[in-house]
Structure 1
Amino acid sequence: MEEKSISELLRAKAHVWNHTLKFINSMSLKCAVELGIPDIIHSHGQPMTLSQLVMALQINPSRASNVRRLMRILVHSGFFTLQKLVGDEEGYALTEASRLLLKDSPFNESSFVLMILDHVVLKPWELVSTWLKNDAVGTFTTPFDVAHGETVWNFAAHEPRFNVLFNEAMASDGPLVSCVLRTKCREVFEGLSSLVDVGGGTGNLAKSLAETFPNLKCTVLDLPHVVAVTCKAATTCIILEGTCLSQFLLQKQFY
């Protein structure tokens, strides 16, 4: 076999392995969020050694090598950096990416990480081929239907844990989007008298716009089980239960 062909095969093999094993990065990130590693390092106030991190995590010292392997993956993924300390010691520090996982961050993305990597959301991905080969068109309209026997909306309606997790995840990018809209896109909202946030979830985005543009009448529309649990904008916005096919929307111009 020619040397060029061998090199091409090795690159192809590396490509296959890279995509096959990428889940390790995602699940390592989920583990870091569940353990609260970003907040622990942030609270420490300076780069944190492995032994300090293991102690703060209250993990058996015998697992220190496993924590080191986890952190090695997360450093490689760009969520932490490893900085030189006194002598031969090294300490873990935050990056801009891991700062988005701090509980006190106004742009906290932790709930999005936990929702996307939750077993409820991952299971449908294991059944995509089953869904595609299913001849009963209309019975299972999405892989989620195959995995759970119902739509994600119906599932969330009777599963409080997932309902809260899902809606917190959907709202997690609201603060950043709101900031961009208010600072970079003000002209879009100038002159408007009303706005409907369809699937508005917590209502935080609509609330922010209503506070920024006092003459803008904002309405948050979402499903009953969403509005009942998560909506926090009742003081500044109109809250409505319904779907995107509601008669209310057919009578209004919305953006």
Structure 2
Amino acid sequence: MDVQGLGATVARYARAARYTVESGTYKDTAKRLGQRVSSSHHAYGLKRDLTLPHETPVAKIPIAVRPLTDADVPRILDEHAEVDEAERWERHTRVRLLERGIGSPYVAVDPDDDPCYVQWLFGPRENDEVREFFHGIFPELGADEALLEGAFTPTRHQGKRIMSAGMSMIAEKAADLGARHVLTFVGVENIASLKGCERAGFLPAIDRWETRRLGRLRVEFRPMDADEVERARVLKPSSS
């Protein structure tokens, strides 16, 4: 690592430490530090083909999708809001992504224009920035591919099926980047998010294994065959 890169790393950890003290997110910080030392994580890469017919899911409240604005940030990503420790940490990680200035963040808003869901869209021109920020946990995007990442729904808006509807509409913005296929990644244990992704038109396509030993990260990607895709699905056609 060069001097500039080392300086950026030190600054990142210093900020994380400062935020931990200010916000009281000690439990989440300790959990993540432990995972950096030794952990294994299995996730599915789900893919949607934008050329295939898809009916946008209907949320329990009317929503629309638009780019995130500066005015939206304190309304959906306030790092010091009176929410539980886990949600404060989730907000903090999205603020870090926002400050890095990569990707295109979109929000789903309710009829009062209150942001209730946020997610970032990345195109292949940002492969280097995505690899650096996310430490290589996503595959290189092809010319006709895009990536959705950073999904977040505040607790007060959860349970309204906003994720699947908002994600479906944000994915379609990838066509403006020249993309046909949109990827997103979800841990295999996160059944609620897997269901939301399938409702948004995404199906399992890739197995991803992340392994950390003594802080060293190894990431493996493997395409799934048709039988594996069907076994990995959490929604069957009759229940979607």
Name the structure with the higher strand share: 2
Same fold per superposition (TM over 0.5): no
| TM-score, normalised with respect to structure 2 | 0.27
Name the structure with the higher helix share: 1
Which one has more relative contact order, counting CA pairs under 8 Å at least 6 apart?
2
| TM-score, normalised with respect to structure 1 | 0.26
Highest CA radius of gyration, 1 or 2? 1
